[in-house]
Amino acid sequence: MKRNYKFIISYDGTRFYGWERQPNKEMTIQGKIESVLTRMTNSENEPVNLIGAGRTDAGVHARATCANAFLDTDLTEEEIKNYMNKYLPEDISVNEVKACSDRFHARYNALGKTYRYTCWCGNSKPVFDRKYVTILDSKPDVEKMRKAAEFLVGTHDFKSFCGNSKMKKSTVRCVDTINIEESGNYIRIYFHGNGFLQNMVRILTGTLLEVGYGSIPVDSVKEILSACDRQKAGPTAPPQGLCMMKVDY
């Protein structure tokens, strides 16, 4: 009899085409995990379907994302975790496995998500962090970025910050906090909200950096938001600086 299991997962997205399973592309997070679970349960005739809390882009990382799947297995939670970690590649880790209610859905039940975008600006090179930061040519004005971020906090139509031009569903989202922290050569931007559109965090970051460099005036962020036009916002920041930190339930 199948039971629903909840997984807490970390991964280095550097060499993957993102979370979502894709035709003719073996290197996806969802695809790799589904393959291992299908083999574990001997269910090749009915492959396991893994439901993720969010669909990260190619090259984006996760420290603690969540997923769930229905499995027909006699293995304990610890045995499932051990099996998965034994056969998954070294850049995917299953940190927790828990049996849960059949009604639990990793995406639909999520109340909020925290993303972190990390930048580096300095005269040296972040050799050991190079896969997880975006290297800036010069230091932006962080105070300007913070002032601009204030206009983005709240419930708004974020169509200007959506990478999917064919999006037919609502582009209204609530971003309740944007915190920008400096520590040495690092600038870390934390975003928390009830959900994010395709490329949204990276476009928000790219826009805030343009404000920090003076290419976009602080007050113009209000106009960009109300324009509902992707062409008005800043560039999409590179993927490697982005990491999904936590999902709230």
Active-site residues, by number, are 57
Name the residue among 4, 9, 6, 16 with its Cα closest to residue 240: 16
Q: Which of 39, 30, 120, 125 is nearest to 68 (CA)?
A: 30
Q: What angle do CA 120, 65, 177 make, to 5 degrees?
A: 60
- Structure token pair of residue 26: 């073996």
**Distance, CA of 220 to CA of 229 (rounded, Å):** 13
Length of the chain equals 249
Taking the C-alpha atoms of residue 158 and residue 161, their distance in angstroms, rounded to an integer, is: 5
State the Cα–Cα distance between residues 249 and 108, nearest whole angstrom.
10
In which element (H, E) is residue 206 found?
A: helix 200-212
